[in-house]
Chain A
Amino acid sequence: MKLFKKQEPVTEEELVKKAQESAKHFGAIYEKYHHRIFLFLLKRVETESEADEITSKTFVKAFLNIKKFTYKGYSIPSWLFRIAINESNQYFRDQKKERVISLDARGIDQMKTEIPFDKEEQLQDLAKALTILTEEELNFIELRFFEGLSFKAVSEAMGIKENHAKVKTYRVVKKLQKHMLGA
Chain B
Amino acid sequence: MTKKVYINRELPNKQQVAKYKSFNKVFGAYQKTKQSRASYKNRKYLLGVLLVLIVAALILWDEFGNKETDSEKNKKIESISSKEKYKKNLSTGNYVYYIYKDCKT
Q: Do A and B come from one complex?
A: yes
Q: Are A38 and B20 in contact (CB under 8 A)?
A: yes
* B103 touches A (CB below 8 Å): no
Q: Are B14 and A35 in contact (CB under 8 A)?
A: yes
Q: Are B33 and A60 in contact (CB under 8 A)?
A: yes
Least CB distance from B4 to A in Å reads 5
Known contacts A55-B20, A56-B29; is-contact A105 B5 (Cβ 8 Å) = no
Residue count of chain A within 8 Å CB distance of chain B: 38
* B38 touches A (CB below 8 Å): no
* B104 touches A (CB below 8 Å): no
What chain A residues lie within 8 Å of B4 (beta carbons)? 46, 98-101
* B3 touches A (CB below 8 Å): yes
1/0 contact string of A23-42 vs chain B (CB within 8 Å): 10011001100110011001
1/0 contact string of A126-154 vs chain B (CB within 8 Å): 01101100010000000000000000000
27 example contacts (A-B, Cβ-Cβ < 8 A) are as follows A23-B27, A27-B23, A30-B21, A30-B23, A34-B20, A35-B14, A35-B21, A39-B17, A42-B11, A42-B12, A48-B20, A60-B26, A60-B33, A63-B26, A63-B27, A64-B34, A98-B1, A98-B4, A99-B1, A103-B5, A103-B7, A104-B8, A104-B11, A108-B7, A123-B7, A127-B5, A128-B5
Q: Are B26 and A59 in contact (CB under 8 A)?
A: yes
A-B contacts at CB below 8 angstroms, number: 87
What chain B residues lie within 8 Å of A162 (beta carbons)? none
* A102 touches B (CB below 8 Å): yes
Q: Are A98 and B26 in contact (CB under 8 A)?
A: no
Contact surface of B with A, Cβ cutoff 8 Å:
1-9, 11-12, 14, 17-18, 20-21, 23, 25-27, 29-30, 33-34
Give CA–CA (A59, B26) in the complex, Å. Answer: 7
Q: Are A101 and B5 in contact (CB under 8 A)?
A: yes
Least CB distance from B6 to A in Å reads 5
Closest to B12 in A: A48
Give CA–CA (A131, B7) in the complex, Å. Answer: 13
Least CB distance from A114 to B in Å reads 18
Contact surface of A with B, Cβ cutoff 8 Å:
23, 26-27, 30-31, 34-35, 38-39, 42-43, 46, 48, 51-52, 55-57, 59-60, 63-64, 92, 98-105, 108, 123, 127-128, 130-131, 135
Q: Are A31 and B7 in contact (CB under 8 A)?
A: no
Give CA–CA (A27, B12) in the complex, Å. Answer: 22
| Residue from A23, A30, A60, A105 having most chain B Cβ neighbours under 10 A | A60
